[in-house]
């Protein structure tokens, strides 16, 4: 009963609860704070009404999720996509659902004109890195020796900007 009958599909607003539940489970599994299913579902309902935020669900009942955001970029005619989240529940891993979700996310981004898709991965997450590298993602530009690094800074947290 748990096998998907079709490939991953882009969600409708009625399915925000499933997306929220999976994203909440993702953060709980990895000990990352989560605002909870109710808040996530409310946020997703607003976000998915936009045309630059896309969620996909895979499995029946849903066992995996991909969340994509698109933004304009001066170097491309079309938008650049970011795969913000990709998650498959532990008991369904290793059976191709993550690969299906990634392929469906790439297709959905391509249909919206995106020319590049980006993914941030923890450096020590060798399983996820192997997964993405096997699917054609690289963290080194051609001709460069050093991997790209992701820098971030939380704004408005009250800390002092260095002089």
Q: Which residues bind ligand COA (CB under 6 A)?
A: 86-88, 93-99, 119, 121, 125, 127-128, 130-131
Is the CB of residue 28 less than 8 Å from the CB of residue 34? yes
Phi, psi at 27, each rounded to 5°: -65, -40
Least distance in Å: CB of 6 to ligand COA? 16
Nearer to ligand COA, 46 or 96 (CB): 96
Q: How far is the CB of 23 from ligand COA (least distance, A)?
A: 11
CA distances from 10 to 68, 76, 126 (A): 10, 24, 28
In the complex with ligand COA, the residue whose CB is nearer, 61 or 94, is 94
Least distance to ligand COA from the beta carbon of 122, Å?
8
Residue (21 or 93) nearer to ligand COA, CB: 93
**Residues 70, 75, 81: CA angle, nearest 5 degrees:** 20
Distance separating alpha carbons of residues 67 and 56, to the nearest angstrom: 7
């Amino acid at each position: 009963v748990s096998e998907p009958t079709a490939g991953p599909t882009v969600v409708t607003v009625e399915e925000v609860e499933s997306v929220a539940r999976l994203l909440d489970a993702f953060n709980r599994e990895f000990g990352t704070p989560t605002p909870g299913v109710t808040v996530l579902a409310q946020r997703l309902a607003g976000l998915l009404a936009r045309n630059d935020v896309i969620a996909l669900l895979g499995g029946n009942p849903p066992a995996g999720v991909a969340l994509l955001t698109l933004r304009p970029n001066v170097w491309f005619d079309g938008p650049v996509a970011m795969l913000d989240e990709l998650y498959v529940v532990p008991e369904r891993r290793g059976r191709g659902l993550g690969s299906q979700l990634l392929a469906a996310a790439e297709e959905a981004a391509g249909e919206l004109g995106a020319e590049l898709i980006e993914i941030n991965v923890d450096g020590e997450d060798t399983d996820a890195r192997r997964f993405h590298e096997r699917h054609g993602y690289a963290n080194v530009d051609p001709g460069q020796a050093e991997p790209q690094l992701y820098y971030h800074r939380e704004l408005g947290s009250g800390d002092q900007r260095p002089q």
